[in-house]
Structure 1
């Protein structure tokens, strides 16, 4: 029997379809769930409400990972290098607070790790990193149609033109971390 050390990470780097596709390929990642977090409107939000930008929620993913295989720090390094953490409320053509770069920490150790990683990777960017670091208060799972989106819709235009190039970058930079 394998002794797993399962932990959670909750991050948002623009469209959750992109970040979900990236982390589904990483060794040690057990599960990736697309969802919403960080807003102020009560109740379980819908995708349509999130897209309005009025809920305050960000599109995020919640990663269940085996810390015996991959650390939270390694997850954050992959996260910080596979999206643009220097653009406020924007990733590519996706604009709005729902597309912000954010790390929702689950405990003080994750908060300290997030701050450390941001400081370390900031020297590789010309612009300042604007990634928000906030405590996770609640995570809402997105509708089923948003789960495994890239795997189920590879031929869709957004997937071909936005997600596939991000996956190519991932495969080049982190070949040793892939499943």
Structure 2
């Protein structure tokens, strides 16, 4: 059986579980307590030397350690990753955007402010990250004007990748009021009957 190594609060794990749910694929979820060091045990480091979740291990032996690579792998041959070259490239463009311009600037403030509680929302590090994150939000805001989804007018792994940490961004001190198109998109995704919760 497919195994997903995850943690309770991982936005990256959330997106994998979202796609697995959409596809109706059975899997075993193994929840690691990252604060207790469970991602740094010799057993887990043998699976992922980077000591991070999520990790997907398939019954045939394939191990994937990067969340967007997992999404792309699972979505092959489904409507969530279009077949056409241009449509697929548009989706992939958003996956790269999520990793380069979005992820750290949203996940790290949430971790520092609300999970580890090791920094205030107005600390220099958090403010710097949110400054970069605001640029990503501006890109999304402009692009989403008149669109329900990020790529090709349909729900794809582009939306699945960007939804979790954007949705959770107020936990890192983000104010989404200046971004009505982003808020509308978030509400649209949240209202889908197939959208799962974080836990």
TM-score (norm 1): 0.33
Larger relative contact order, structure 1 or 2 (CA cutoff 8 Å, min sep 6) = 1
Which protein shows a greater Rg?
Answer: 2
TM-score, with length taken from structure 2 = 0.30
As a proportion of its length, which structure holds more strand?
1
